């Protein structure tokens, strides 16, 4: 699998440089946009967190002031010296004027940001009920002792458990719409919670900030989508171009590379890391004359198939002309390690034996094939690729003259 991927990459690099540059530029641009989007989201979250923290501090200060004003009003108009729920319930049940006054005190703190202010207590059955409510308009106020159902029960349980100020940020998918922060401020007496002052912060500030940042976020989203589409289009065009180029490099009959590809490949091959073999089908003209050209084509296909089968994925098999094939063994290091020379000779002989052992079978007819191979394992000492091919071709000629169906190895000067 790795060798196939390696072979694909090796061939892919010959695609037009313009496409490679365009893809590289667009990928860099895409990564830059992605980084910018990530930074924007990170900054946006930090901004909302800072705005939320600032809003919470303002609400905390306001809650303390409101509590003092409530206690002051109760002291001024009743004999109750502290906020005691039991006594206050009795007084408010009889004194409507005091209820209106306390509701009005709360309503003084209603602003664009503070949408609802009310005080809730917990009865003996554990149910939450309104004590006073300064929300505007009057139609939205909760009546005295009316049951209150919190949207976030965990927040209320936490407030009663910890006996300290807590707040929660509303989610947009919750039923409470138009609110951003719910702030709970417990009113204590003798270390016990008597009631909870609730301030609901409007989502107006959040919405304004969201509206300011939304265009930038949408712009980055569209740019990332647009860049992704362009990258895909360039990639698809490159793949189509690669397919067309590959078709031009492939011999349509045998499916191996053709000679034109060899011309493209010549300048990229390192002569110190390859070995060259010329393979020729023995008595090919006789096969054509005896069985016909269709059988001759089958013979060519069979030899090409076996050459591909018995070489590695990154080796190159090229139809050099007629019944001749050129095999370029890559990742061959005969220049540094002489054992590679012996190994490549064994490989060439194995190919020759395997082909002769696998005749072409067509229906009831069996055609025995043999090949002659001229091998140049000393390509690293040649000046050019074609000099090595010439030496391999001379070795092939010697193999033909000495009886065929054999491998002859080229020397530095001549063959043996």
CATH 3.30.450.20 fits 40-208, yes or no: yes
Using CB atoms within 10 A of its CB, is residue 353 exposed (0-12), middle (13-18) or buried (19+)?
middle
As a whole number of angstroms, the distance between CA 374 and CA 338 comes to 19
Contact 359, 367 (CB under 8 A): yes
State pLDDT tens for residues 121-158. Answer: 999 999 999 999 998 888 889 999 999 999 889 999 99
Place of tokens 């900030």: 209
Alpha helix ranges (H) inside 78-95: 85-94
Domain with CATH 3.30.70.270 in the chain: 259-409
318 contacts: CB under 8 Å, gap ≥ 6: 256, 257, 258, 259, 261, 262, 325, 326, 327, 328
Residue 291 has pLDDT above 50, yes or no: yes
In the chain, pLDDT over 90 holds for what percent of residues? 46
Using CB atoms within 10 A of its CB, is residue 211 exposed (0-12), middle (13-18) or buried (19+)?
exposed
Domain with CATH 3.30.450.20 in the chain: 40-208
Residue 9 has pLDDT above 50, yes or no: no
Q: What is the DSSP letter of 95?
A: -
* Average pLDDT of the residues in 77-94: 87
Of 232, 227, 367, 228, nearest to 303 by C-alpha is 367
As a whole number of angstroms, the distance between CA 214 and CA 208 comes to 10
CA end-to-end span of the chain: 38
* Average pLDDT of the residues in 97-116: 91
The tokens describing 113, both together, are 């940001």
Would you tell me which CATH number, out of the four given (3.30.300.180, 3.30.70.270, 2.60.120.260, 3.30.70.80), belongs to the domain 259-409?
3.30.70.270
Total-model pTM: 0.50
The tokens describing 124, both together, are 């003996």
Contact 238, 15 (CB under 8 A): yes
| Backbone phi, psi, residue 181, to 5° | -125, 135
Contact 130, 144 (CB under 8 A): yes
Cα–chain center distance at 32: 15
């Amino acid at each position: 699998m790795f060798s196939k991927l390696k072979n694909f990459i090796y061939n892919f690099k010959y695609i037009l440089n313009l496409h490679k540059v365009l893809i590289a530029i667009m990928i860099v641009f895409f990564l830059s946009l992605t980084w910018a989007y990530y930074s924007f989201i990170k900054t946006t979250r930090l901004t909302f967190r800072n705005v939320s923290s600032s809003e919470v501090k303002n609400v905390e200060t306001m809650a303390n002031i409101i509590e003092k004003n409530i206690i002051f009003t109760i002291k001024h108009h009743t004999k109750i010296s502290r906020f005691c729920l039991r006594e206050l319930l009795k007084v408010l049940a009889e004194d409507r004027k005091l209820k209106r006054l306390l509701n009005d005190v709360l309503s003084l703190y209603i602003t664009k940001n503070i949408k609802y202010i009310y005080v809730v207590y917990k009865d003996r059955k554990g149910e939450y009920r309104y004590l006073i409510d300064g929300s505007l308009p009057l139609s939205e106020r909760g009546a005295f002792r009316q049951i209150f159902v919190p949207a976030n029960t965990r927040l209320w349980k936490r407030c009663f458990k910890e006996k300290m100020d807590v707040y929660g940020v509303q989610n947009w998918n919750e039923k409470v719409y138009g609110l951003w922060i719910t702030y709970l401020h417990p009113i204590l007496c003798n270390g016990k919670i008597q009631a909870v002052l609730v301030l609901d912060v409007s989502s107006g500030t959040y919405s304004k900030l969201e509206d300011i940042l939304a265009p930038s976020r949408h712009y980055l989203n569209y740019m990332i989508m647009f860049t992704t589409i362009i990258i895909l289009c360039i990639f698809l065009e490159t793949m189509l171009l690669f397919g067309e180029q590959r078709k031009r490099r492939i011999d349509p009959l045998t499916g191996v590379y053709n000679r034109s590809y060899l011309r493209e490949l010549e300048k990229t091959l390192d002569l110190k890391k390859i070995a060259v073999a010329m393979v020729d089908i023995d008595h090919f003209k006789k096969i054509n004359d005896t069985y016909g050209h269709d059988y001759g084509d089958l013979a060519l296909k069979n030899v090409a198939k076996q050459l591909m089968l018995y070489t590695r994925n990154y080796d190159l098999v090229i139809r050099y002309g007629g019944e001749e094939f050129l095999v370029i063994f890559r990742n061959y290091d005969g220049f540094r390690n002489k054992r590679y020379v012996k190994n490549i000779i064994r490989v060439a002989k194995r190919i020759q034996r395997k082909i002769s052992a696998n005749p072409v079978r067509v229906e009831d007819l069996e055609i025995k094939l043999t090949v002659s191979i001229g091998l140049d394992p000393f390509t690293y000492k040649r000046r050019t690729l074609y000099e090595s091919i010439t030496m391999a071709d001379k070795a092939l000629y010697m193999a033909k003259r000495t009886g065929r169906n054999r491998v002859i190895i080229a020397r530095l000067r001549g063959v043996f």
